[in-house]
Amino acid sequence: MVGLVIVSHSRKAAEGIAEVAAEMGGVTRIEPVGGDGQGGFGTVPDDIEDALAAADDGEGVVVLVDLGSAVMNADVAIEMSDVDAVIADAPVLEGAVNAAVAATSPKATLDSVREQAEAARDVDKL
């Protein structure tokens, strides 16, 4: 099953987003990661790399990020990792929910899960 990693500058935000996505994603592996490792705000490539490994069961991982430097650090983590992973260009919460649901399909692929995450960009809230 394709796994998910939620990267936020706030550990609490990443955990909350993962919790919401898990409500819809059933058994999808979702790993939250965030913060600077010292209780502050930020992202750390090594922590993201660890989350990639924890979320992967061999079918790859879709990564959802909150802000600019999270993208940069996720890119670094993916380059350092042996995990097949992609970053979704999606709103982090809505994208995570879409991805979690998509990952439950027996036909899910890394590309199909990423595409469903990115489809959240076009969802109107009102």
Residues annotated as catalytic (active site), given as ranges: 9
Residue 107, classed as helix, strand or coil, is coil
Instruction: Locate 63 and state its tokens.
Output: 């990564």
Neighbour tally for 79: CB within 10 Å: 10
d(CA 60, CA 80): 15
Neighbour tally for 115: CB within 10 Å: 16
d(CA 31, CA 84): 15
